[in-house]
Amino acid sequence: MAHLPPAEYYASLPRHIGAAGAILHDERGRVLLVEPAYGDGHWEIPGGAMDHGEYPWDTARREIEEELGLALLPGRLLVVDWVPPQPDGRPALTNHLFDGGALTEAEARARIRLDAGELTAWRLAAPAEWDVLMAPHMARRLRACAEALTANTTAYLHHGVPPHP
């Protein structure tokens, strides 16, 4: 088998995208969700796509500032979720979610400034609402984040589900 020059070898590898976000939560176990101005009507965790060469932690920090107007330093990594390529053509995705810290509803109302081009609303949503508001894999991912926060652990997921039985 012939060895390829590095540039050819790297060009032959599969492509995937990266994303990162932050879990902002209150004392009652509610998590801040956002409603995108685009998409399928499901609410999401604040965050977004990594820029070329950007670290996931930096992406989470940047996205929270861009989307919500909040300057914060993300805390520890809660979840890494690998999502396979999708039928709509989206390549595989690695999503990193960090602890964004505690935020009361009063603080959120006073400090959040939505990027109107990206988001139409925000809300602090209780766990009972997640399955109604979010796509199933996103609700599973958020439950894993909540468990990681409580247990002081980090979870690795395959499309919102731990890979072990």
Q: What are the pLDDT tens digits along the chain (165 aa)? A: 568 888 888 787 778 899 999 999 999 999 999 999 987 899 999 999 999 999 999 999 999 999 999 999 999 999 999 999 988 888 999 999 999 999 999 999 999 999 989 999 999 999 999 999 999 999 999 999 999 999 999 999 999 999 986
Contact between 43 and 33 under an 8 Å Cβ cutoff? The reply is yes
112: tokens are 């959040």
Judged by phi (left if over 0) then psi (alpha if -120 to 50, else beta), residue 89 lies in: left
User: What is the number of structural domains in the chain?
Assistant: 1
Tell me what pLDDT residue 12 has: 78
Domain assignment of residue 138, yes or no? yes
Contact between 124 and 105 under an 8 Å Cβ cutoff? The reply is yes
Note down the domain range covering 48. Answer: 16-158
Domain assignment of residue 77, yes or no? yes
Is the pTM for the entire model greater than 0.75?
Answer: yes
Buried b (16+ CB within 10 A) or exposed e, 140-161: bbbbbbbebbeeeeebebebbe
Tell me what pLDDT residue 10 has: 78
Domain assignment of residue 7, yes or no? no
Contact between 165 and 147 under an 8 Å Cβ cutoff? The reply is no
Domain assignment of residue 43, yes or no? yes
Contact between 147 and 155 under an 8 Å Cβ cutoff? The reply is yes
Q: What is the rounded distance in angstroms from the CA atom of residue 71 to the CA atom of residue 67?
A: 11
Tell me what pLDDT residue 1 has: 55
Tell me what pLDDT residue 124 has: 98
Domain assignment of residue 120, yes or no? yes
Domain assignment of residue 114, yes or no? yes
Tell me what pLDDT residue 11 has: 80
Assign residue 122 the CATH number of its domain. Answer: 3.90.79.10
Indicate if the alpha-carbon torsion angle 36, 109, 60, 150 is positive or negative: negative
Tell me what pLDDT residue 165 has: 66
Domain assignment of residue 6, yes or no? no
Tell me how crowded residue 49 is: count the other CB atoms within 10 A of its CB: 13
Domain assignment of residue 151, yes or no? yes
Per DSSP, the three-state class of 67 is helix
Tell me what pLDDT residue 9 has: 82
